[in-house]
Amino acid sequence: MQSLTTLRIGEAQPLDVALRVPCYHFGVPRSQAALRLIFFCCFSLLLGGCRSRDEVTSGGPTEITVWHPWGQDNAKGLAKIVARYNAMQQKTRVRLVFTPTDLSTNQKFFTAVAAGKPPDVSFVDGTQVAQWAEWNALEPLDEFIQRDKVRPDDFYAPCWKQSLYKNHVWAMTYCADPNFAFCWNKSEFRRAGLNPEKPPRTIEELDRIAKALTVDKGGRLDKLGIIPWSQYGAANSTFTWGWAFGGQFYDEKTQTITANDPKIVKAVEWMVSHAKRLGITRVNASASGWGTGVSDPFSTGNLGMKCVHISTLHDLTKYAPNLDYGIAPLPGTPDGEIGSSWVGGWLLCLPRGSRHPQEGWDFIRWMCATPEGTKAIADEMGLLPGFRRSPAIAKVKRDPKLKMFVKILEESKHQRPVMPVQAYFMGALDRAIDRAVYGKQTPQQAMDQATAETQRELDLILGKKPK
Amino acid sequence: MTSIRKPMTKLEKHHLRDGLLFTLPGIIGLLGFTIYPVFASLYYSFCNYSVLKAPQWVGLANYSVLAHDEQLRVAVKNTVIFAAMSIPLGIAAAFLLATLLNQKVRGMAFFRTIFYLPSVVPAVAGAVLWLWILNPQYGLLNTALAAVGIAGPGWLSDPAWSKAALSLMSVWGVGGWMVIFLAGLQDVPVELQEAARLDGAGAVAAYRHVTLPFMSPHLLFASVMGVIGVSSFFAQPMVMTNGGPADSTLFFAQYLFQNAFQFFKMGYACALAWALAVVLIFITVLLFRGSARFVYYGGD
């Protein structure tokens, strides 16, 4: 306090005087106190940042972290499935963390892996398995699979194929997506004077019906038959119709992208012909008024036909229980594939550096390759497992509408290419279809560009010289 | 003239040390989270780097790809067109608003608040709101146009209108510039305006020859910030159009983001960022040089 009283009037009071006073109260010189304060702050920050969760769990069950990308009903279903798992065994407690890892948002996952702090288990989109494996983001599962005697023919062929890359297994299919069944609104068929029991078998018939279903109200499209490029995104639409037209997207032997296969270009030309006939901006204007759930265009009759995923069928049962619709195999071209289909799906994987690989694997195996786990997924999320012996498969087979999806699983010849730039390929196809549909490029040009772009990326990753 | 530096007294040394210690957290943050990443990104721009694998030195390969990248050309073209539409429109709107809000009317504080309010709405919330306004069928804008007998376009679903729609939306958020212009307008000396009026200048002439010159530094500042802002225009197109339809709203920032975080071509994305930095510095210098004749900083 002394220093304050000796200040003369008119002399500027140094700032540190104010600081000095409280410091002397602690009996420590002021600069040292400041040092201590800063040291304390930095140290506590460091401690907070470096604290590891591992050390907390000793004795009790091991906690494993599972990152999942699901929202709404799916998230609720998943939580119930995990609750079943946590209740049936004492060794592991699964903790779910919502972290999108879809095609466009996986940066969080990658940075976590790169930083050495990944989750113990993560969901991975089927199209990304090869890429994540190539980038060294995953642990191979071969050892676990051998030890626990999981066999390839436990799974539907496309599902197993999707988890294989460079002769290693990197993930397990927890949900197989049999894509797609073809649905048509029978009431709309009647309104247009069409036979409601006769769905189109060929693309020609599809075109004729689509025209008949279209209602133009003073320049505004009130009702539509089908929007070919909007079957779960432009890329998935291209795969769907490309195979229906008999095309092939990838040559595995030569590692060549073949998206400009003449038959695929034909398929794109056909998609574009609908955009031209209807007018793309008019289609967009109509579509901008459509919703989901109860206002889904298929249930309101604004869209007469569409390709459906099994979850869409559940939605229809939930939101439009009285809708009169039929379900059939996909139409195709005579020189292509009538009734074509493909299998997609999501898988579970062990990220590189997973701290509890054994517990993580046990959970993956329960979810993907046990009768109980796969049944839980079917019960709570309404999805089809890739595991053949699941009781869920037998149950779905008895459902007159849903049995179609099991048939696809059993018979489908296609899955999207398993190669390390599949996510990029999907993006390139999306953009190509966009350009073609809006008339910025011809279908040939658009597909040539998508093929060249993707090939360049693939060669880069495989370390090949560009052609 | 050279000043002789006195050796530091003990007290001054103490002050220096304490000052440095107290700013240490900030300095560490600046070094670790700004300076280091800036230089790391320069290094990575010469590498193939997918984050998960160690970076591989490829020399100038990323920059030579950049020179021939078709998609980048589309993104740059879109960004330039958008800049040409949105910056003049934004500045004009902000200037007009500032002029109106500079009048002496009752309840001016209220109006100023109202016009500034959109600027504090988070970008994504504003974008979602505008998605509804611009909806071709049920949107406010097309409903209003229909009332006067105009069939509105598809806005965001039509490649010919999508950039115009986003420019229109950006006018909504000019509150920041408006405040700067308002501050500038209040600094225009009243005596000069009065002198001009006494000398027989009309309202328009006084505005043109007195107000505008005093506002020129603010206009230059807004232009420079506008160019920088457009080059990093990201959140709204990401939320509203994701680059579509037909790549018509694929702007530079989004293309960079795609490369960095969707394709994980971090090296190429870093090269894009550095190319942008160089171009921006160039444009800024050009704007300052080019405008030297027109900008008046007061004084003599």
> Cα A145 to chain center, whole Å?
24
Tell me the CA distances in angstroms from A417 to A10, A202, A425, B67, one per residue in order.
Answer: 83, 25, 9, 30
Give the C-alpha separation, A370 to A154, whole Å: 10
Q: Inform me whether the C-beta atom of residue B13 falls under 8 Å from chain A C-beta atoms.
A: no
- Give me the residues of B, 34-63, that contact A with CB < 8 A: 48, 50-53
**B265 closest CA partner among B75, B63, B51:** B51
Q: Which residues pair with A250 in a beta bridge?
A: A257
Question: What integer is the mean pLDDT of A260-289?
Answer: 92
Sign, CA dihedral B230-B234-B240-B241, equals positive
| Residue B248 neighbours by CB under 8 Å, 6+ apart | B78, B159, B160, B162, B163, B241
Give DSSP secondary structure letters for chain B: --PPPPPPPHHHHHHHHHHHHHHHHHHHHHIIIIIHHHHHHHHHTTEE--SSS--EE-TTHHHHHHHT-HHHHHHHHHHHHHHHHHHHHHHHHHHHHHHHHTS--TTHHHHHHHHHGGGGS-HHHHHHHHHHHT-TTT-HHHHHHHHTT-----GGGSTTTHHHHHHHHHHHTTHHHHHHHHHHHHHS-HHHHHHHHHTT--HHHHIIIIIHHHHHHHHHHHHHHHHHHHHT--HHHHHHTTT-STTTT--HHHHHHIIIIIS--HHHHHHHHHHHHHHHHHHHHHHHHHHTTT---S--
B51, B53, B70: residue with CB nearest A111: B51
Could you tell me whether strands A92-98 and A62-68 are parallel, antiparallel, or unpaired per DSSP bridges?
parallel
A241 Cα distance to chain centroid: 20
- Beta-sheet pairing, B56-57 with B47-48: antiparallel
Give me the interface pTM, i.e. the ipTM: 0.78
Long-range contacts of B260-264 (CB under 8 A, 24+ apart): B261/A105, B261/A107, B262/A103, B262/A104, B262/A423, B262/A427, B263/A423, B263/A424, B263/A427, B263/A457, B264/A107, B264/A110, B264/A135, B264/B50, B264/B51, B264/B52
Per-residue pLDDT band for A198 (boundaries 50, 70, 90) equals very high
CA distances from B297 to A212, B222, B226 (A): 70, 15, 20
C-alpha to C-alpha distance for A356 and A118, rounded to whole angstroms: 11
Judging contacts by C-beta atoms under 8 Å, the chain A residues touching residue B53 are 135-136
Average pLDDT in the A354-358 region? 94
> Which CA distances in Å does B290 have to A105, A115, B282?
42, 47, 12
Angle at A379 between CA A375 and CA A383, to 5 degrees: 85
**Band of residue A19 on the pLDDT scale cut at 50, 70, 90:** very low
Distance of CA B190 to the CA centre of its chain: 31
DSSP assignment of B5-20: PPPPPHHHHHHHHHHH
Helix (H, G, I), strand (E, B) or coil at A222: strand
Amino acid letter, residue A151: R
- pLDDT higher than 70, residue A32: no
Cross-chain CB nearest to A288 (options B137, B159, B264): B137
**A190: alpha, beta or left, given left = phi > 0 and alpha = psi -120 to 50?**
alpha
Per-residue pLDDT at B294: 78
Q: What is the pTM of this model?
A: 0.82
Contact A427 B263 (CB under 8 A): yes
Residue A7's pLDDT is 37
Q: Which residue in the set A35, A284, A457 is minimally distant from B21, CB to CB?
A: A35
Within the 125-154 window of chain B, which residues sit less than 8 Å (CB to CB) from chain A?
A: 135-138, 153-154
Chain B residue numbers with beta carbons less than 8 Å from the beta carbon of A449 are 70
Average pLDDT over residues B224-234: 91
CA separation for the pair A455, A458 (Å, rounded): 5
Residue A66 belongs to what H/E stretch?
strand A62-68
For residue A55, the model assigns a pLDDT of 46
pLDDT of residue A16: 40
- Which of A425, A438, A453, A465 would you mutate first to test chain B, the one with the most B CBs within 10 A? A438
pLDDT in the model for residue A39: 59
Kind of pairing between the strands at A171-179 and A62-68: unpaired
- Looking at residue A103, what is its pLDDT? 59
Mean pLDDT of all residues in B134-152:
88
Name residues whose C-beta falls within 8 Å of residue A200's C-beta, 6 or more positions apart in sequence. A182, A184, A206, A208, A209, A305, A331
Q: Is the pLDDT of residue A20 over 50?
A: no
> Residue A135 has what pLDDT?
87
And the tokens for A328? 């059939």
The percentage of residues in chain A with a pLDDT greater than 90, rounded to a whole number, is 66
**Which amino acid appears at position A342 of this protein?**
W
d(CA A363, CA A369): 10
> What SS3 class is residue A325?
strand
Cβ-based contacts under 8 A for chains A and B: 85
In the stretch 209-248 of chain A, residues with CB closer than 8 A to chain B read none
Tokens 């994540």, located at residue? A132
Which residue is closest to A452 within chain B, CA to CA? B70
Q: Which of A270-279, B160-169, B195-204, B291-300 shows the lowest mean pLDDT across its residues?
A: B291-300
Q: Rounded mean pLDDT of chain B? A: 89
Probe site for chain B from A288, A441, A445, A456 (most B CB atoms < 10 A): A288
Residue-wise pLDDT for A397-449, tens only, equals: 998 888 999 999 999 989 999 999 998 899 899 999 999 999 999 999 999 99
Mutate which of B11, B17, B22, B51 to disrupt the A interface (most A C-beta within 10 Å)?
Answer: B51
Q: Taking the CB of residue A122, how many other CB atoms lie within 10 A of it?
A: 29
pLDDT at A34: 58
Name the phi and psi angles at B234, rounded to 5: -135, -55
C-alpha A211, offset from chain centre: 33
Tell me: pLDDT of A130 over 60: yes
Average pLDDT estimate for A275-295? 87
A236 confidence band (pLDDT: 50, 70, 90): very high
- Is residue A110 within 8 Å of residue B268, measured between CB atoms? no
Whether A438 sits inside 8 A of B136 (CB atoms) is no
Question: CB-based burial of residue A6 (10 Å sphere; 0-12 exposed, 13-18 middle, 19+ buried)?
Answer: exposed
**What pLDDT digit, counting tens, does each position of A103-122 carry?**
566 788 888 998 999 999 99
Other beta carbons within 10 Å of B31: 10
Phi, psi for A384 (deg, rounded to 5):
-95, 130
Give the per-residue SS3 of A375-437.
Answer: HHHHHHHCCECCECCCHHHHHHHCCCCCHHHHHHHHHCCECCCCCCCHHHHHHHHHHHHHHHH
- Cα–Cα dist B283/B98, whole Å: 27
Name the average pLDDT for chain A.
86
For residues A178 and A405, is the Cβ–Cβ distance under 8 A?
yes
CB within 8 Å: A288 and B136? yes
For residues B254 and A165, give the distance between their C-alpha atoms in angstroms, rounded to a whole number: 31
Residue whose entry in the numeric block shows the structure tokens 């196809």? A429
Q: Average pLDDT of B98-118? A: 88
Q: What is the pLDDT of residues B188-226, one digit of tens each?
A: 888 888 888 888 888 888 888 888 888 989 999 999 999
How confident is the model at residue A18, as a pLDDT?
38
Task: Tell me which residue of A143, A176, A181, A179 sits closest to A160, measured CA to CA.
Answer: A176
Residue A360: enclosing H or E segment and its boundaries?
helix A357-369
Evaluate if residue A271 carries a pLDDT over 70: yes
Task: Report the Cα–Cα distance between both ends of chain A, in Å, rounded.
Answer: 82
Please say whether the beta carbons of A293 and A319 come within 8 A: yes
More confident residue, B232 or A40: B232
| pLDDT attached to residue B105 | 82
| Distance separating alpha carbons of residues B134 and B130, to the nearest angstrom | 6
What would the pLDDT profile of A41-76 be if each residue is shown by its tens digit? 555 555 555 444 444 445 789 999 999 998 888 899
Cβ–Cβ below 8 Å for A42 and B25: yes
- Residue A82: exposure state from Cβ atoms within 10 A (0-12, 13-18, ≥19): buried
Collapse the DSSP code of A449 into the 3-class scheme (helix H, G, I; strand E, B; otherwise coil) and give the result: helix
Q: Is the pLDDT of residue A15 over 50?
A: no
Which DSSP letter does residue A59 get?
S
Contact B138 A289 (CB under 8 A): yes
Residue of A nearest to B250 (CA): A431
Would you call A158 an interface residue with chain B, using a CB distance cutoff of 8 Å?
no
Interface test with B, best of A124, A281, A295 (most B CBs within 10 A): A281
pLDDT band, residue B6 (cuts 50/70/90) = confident
User: In whole angstroms, what is the distance from residue A299 CA to residue A309 CA?
Assistant: 15
On the CB side of A163, CA atoms within 13 Å amount to 30
Res A22: pLDDT: 39
What is the average pLDDT across A207-225?
Answer: 91
> Whose CA is closest to B170, among B251, B82, B280, B110?
B82
Interchain CB distance below 8 Å, A457 and B18: no
User: Quick one: average pLDDT of B284-296?
Assistant: 84
The mean pLDDT of A377-393, rounded to a whole number, is: 92
Chain A: closest CA distance from residue B291 (Å): 39
B12-58: pLDDT as tens digits: 999 999 999 999 999 999 999 999 999 999 999 999 888 888 898 99
Place of tokens 């398995």: A129
What is the pLDDT averaged over residues A189-199?
Answer: 94
